[in-house]
Amino acid sequence: MLKTMTLELDPDLLKQARFSNEPHWLKALRENAWKQINSLEMPIFAKINYHAWPLLDFVSHPVFNVTIPESVWSESNGYQFASLGQLVVKTELSEELTAKGVILCDMGTAIHQYGDLVHDFLFHQAVQIDENRLTAVSAALMNGGTFLYVPKNVEIDDPINLLQIQDSRQPGNFVNHTLIVAGENSQFQVLQRSSTLGDEPNAAHIMVEIVAQSGSRVKFSALDSLGQTTHSYINRRGYLEKDARIDWTVGVLNDGNTIADFDSNLVGSGSHTEMQTVAISTDRQTQGIDTQVTNYGRHSEGNILQRGILLGRSALVFNGIGKIIKGAHGAKAQQENRVLMLSPKARGDANPILLIDENDVIAGHAASVGRINQDQMYYLMSRGLTKEVAQRLVARGFLGVVLSDIPVPEVRQQMISLIERKLINGQGTE
């Protein structure tokens, strides 16, 4: 569903977003997207009303802060790539991976040094610029991001870690785009960490495209912890060819209002995706997460698992959509959406949707919204734990089914730490 919204953006935004000496093809892509913005409509996700949010309140003449604080340098340790707003803080790829043809760089460098490669995939397969108004805005106003390319048959054991920080020390525009291309039969893991520095009210547009070519295997983990004054639009999309697989594990742990659109298109036969999401909403925060898997290929398989926790007066909506296209014989689509309420004043929704246009398939769904198990609480509190500590332990156990599937111990611990922070802060708002 789509909804029309009046929008007038300053034409100077298009000029300011451009990278230095952009090639003709990227200028044409931006201009094409810009021309369509007013004719396209805003996407509507079931039971998620975000249209009054200032997602399109862009700054016409932002002031760039070129200082990089010590805290950012320290945080970038352990990451191969780090950026602060439009500033590249760090790009570090081992000589071994470089020799194998692996490419990791900021988007500005990518369009100049690897323009032909980027041109073939950017907004061509995983995301189309004319899908809706927000995808067009992301294409027209992209002002930062990352490019990762892993060639055919290359296997990487250690994860590639990406740190992307929104700079909200002053009014600014954060339209960040990550393009990941997995060559045929390649295998690797990626962690994307998104956070905010500063408390100036700004919007954040974060888009990730993963193109998984035939036989490739990608494990993608994301930790989102954007600031309380940030309204965010997060779009992560996978395009899977024959026998390709993407395993997604995403922690939506922002402090501000969030609309998230997570999709995987199983185009090739035998393609497979696991889409797992945990989310915590606290205080008066609203988060809407729309996860969709579309089976186009024969014997493709897509599974959705979403678990969320609510505290305070917050709201959290999970939409899980399994869509099987006619001709996708032998396809499988399963989903589970569960929400745990830790406050009587919060609002949670779990909406499973199956859209099936083929007979020879297997599909199913489960959904629940409920309060904390009092037997578990009684047991823990009878052992001397306070109510607050007992609640956090039960919540950790509720999310554990997703946390246990994170393949990298360091990433798993990072997500647990973020969850613990959200739970502690959220209990303070009751």
Kindly give the confidence (pLDDT) of every residue in the chain, 430 residues in length, as a single tens digit, with 9 standing for 90 and above: 334 344 578 888 998 899 989 999 999 999 999 999 999 999 988 888 899 999 999 998 877 778 999 999 999 998 999 999 999 999 999 999 999 999 999 999 999 999 999 999 999 999 999 999 999 999 999 999 999 999 999 999 999 999 999 999 999 999 999 999 999 999 999 999 999 999 999 999 999 999 999 999 999 999 999 999 999 999 999 999 999 999 999 999 999 999 999 999 999 999 999 999 999 999 999 999 999 999 999 999 999 999 999 999 999 999 999 999 999 999 999 999 999 999 899 999 999 999 999 999 999 998 888 888 788 877 788 888 888 888 888 888 888 878 877 777 877 888 888 888 888 877 655 5
Whether 241 and 125 have beta carbons less than 8 Å apart is answered as: no
Q: Please state at what angle helix 409-427 crosses helix 387-403, rounded to 10 degrees.
A: 150
Query: Among candidates 370, 369, 256, 233, which has minimal Cα distance to 314?
Result: 256
Query: Among candidates 58, 54, 49, 89, which has minimal Cα distance to 193?
Result: 89
How many C-beta atoms lie closer than 10 Å to residue 378's C-beta?
A: 11
Whether 307 and 280 have beta carbons less than 8 Å apart is answered as: no
25/390 Cα distance (integer angstroms): 57
Residues 187, 193, 199, CA angle at the centre, nearest 5°? 165
Greatest extent of the chain over all pairs of C-alpha atoms, in Å: 69
| Residue 69 CB partners (closer than 8 Å, separation 6+) | 197
* Segments making up each domain of the chain, as ranges: 2-267
